[in-house]
Amino acid sequence: MKLVQLKLMVQDSLASRGLKDPAVRQNAMENIYKFMKADGGVFLDENGDVRLPSDAIVIRNAYRKYKGYELNSAEKSVINEMYRFV
């Protein structure tokens, strides 16, 4: 699965939930997408397909290091949703 496909699947899933403020999670998805594209050697294989570590903690820690501070609940939720689809 390509990263852009995963992004769209997560966005559709979030939009279908009837969240109080869906823009917060959509923004989190956009930021995580940019992070994964920038660090593609870690999260994308040679064909550009998504390659997530077996444990979500790995990607959370990498994203936290990239951001420079703790993840918020929307970011954690988006990462969990990504794992649900991959």
DSSP summary character for residue 1: -
Rounded alpha-carbon distances, angstroms, from residue 16 to 5, 9, 13, 32, 76: 17, 11, 5, 20, 18
Task: Please name the residues in contact with 68: beta carbons below 8 A apart, sequence gap of 6 or more.
Answer: none
pTM of the model: 0.86
Residues linked to residue 50 through DSSP beta bridges, in sequence order: 44
Domain ranges (residues) in the chain: 3-85
Per-residue tens of pLDDT for the chain, all 86 residues: 898 899 999 989 888 887 788 888 899 999 999 998 886 567 888 888 888 888 999 999 999 999 999 999 999 999 999 999 88
